[in-house]
Copies of this chain bind each other. A is one copy, B any other.
């Protein structure tokens, strides 16, 4: 027994030594990033807020970093992934309620005319969301959406949507977490939709996803089993001013870092910046039409207006150029 303990001590010592050596090795936490102001801003922020001797040190429990999802962590063109899910659900919905086949916007969806669909206005989208994402238990919703996520593929890259995440941003998520930050998704997308894959895809647990949220209603089945029914009622519209409001509701702490890519992230970045000490505000700019997309003021989604660019300059937010700052876009490349 005494011998076993000695062996254990020696083994433990070697393991510690190994960890020490690994930690000392100079490894680049952001290998998919080119050297430049964007990469530098990230690394300097993390170093200064986690160095105990720094006047801008942030206590571990307060280390919160907020990330928009669509266009910031993964592809949002030509349509938000969740909208594609709603469209794909329409035939099943119409099968259950055949009268809808002749009612807009369902009629257009069934016609398959993507150009017409791209012109849907907010009331159309709200009707689609209500019809395809509500009126069922949260378990039914999860099962359906998971099935779709496992099988649906993006037509350009011919891969599941969940593989279309940006490798450089995955590195940022990991780098922040390795330095004691809790990474939150703060998305205009549906909170319970994103929660289905956030752990698997981003390493972010469901409770760290803040998103647009509908209400649920507590009900009982005929045999008395309780369940939550998804209702067509908006509790939180997690866009624009809704992002800081959602952060206050769901986290109750101001983030130290915030990443976005569109005008809908402006208030989240402002709110982050309004805190004390070191704060990091960054915007992903889609300027790479070869490897991904280039889009700006005139797109339906991910609007990056000239006003936003001016705001970024004025407020010292760092703009990430996908073209110049990212060596590689997706993990599956090369």
Contact = CB atoms under 8 A, between A and B. Distances in A.
Interface of A: 5, 8-10, 12-14, 16-17, 61, 138, 191-192, 195, 199, 205-207, 209, 213, 215-218, 225-228, 235-236, 241, 244-245, 248-253, 267, 270-271, 274
Given A235-B235, A252-B192, A270 B226 contact: yes
A189 B213 CA distance: 22
A146 B111 CA distance: 59
A5 B61 CA distance: 32
Contacts of A241: 217-218
Nearest to A236: B235
A207 B218 CA distance: 23
A141 to B, nearest CB: 11
A222 B244 CA distance: 19
A220 to B, nearest CB: 9
A51 to B, nearest CB: 23
Nearest to A205: B61
B61 A253 contact: no
A142 to B, nearest CB: 10
A192 B248 CA distance: 9
Contacts of A8: 13, 16-17
B218 A249 contact: no
11 contacts: A9-B10, A9-B14, A191-B252, A192-B252, A206-B252, A206-B253, A207-B250, A213-B249, A226-B267, A226-B270, A235-B249
**Residue of A5, A8, A16, A199 most packed against chain B (CB within 10 A):** A16
Nearest to A243: B218
Q: Name the 8 nearest CB pairs between A and B, nearest first.
A: A9-B13, A218-B241, A206-B252, A12-B16, A195-B252, A207-B251, A226-B270, A216-B245
Contact of A5 (B17, B225, B270): B17
A218 B236 CA distance: 13
Given A206-B253, A226-B267, 12 more contacts: A8-B16, A9-B16, A9-B17, A12-B13, A61-B205, A191-B249, A195-B252, A207-B250, A209-B252, A218-B244, A228-B244, A228-B245
B14 A218 contact: no
Contacts of A226: 244, 267, 270-271, 274
Given A9-B17, A13-B12, A216 B248 contact: yes
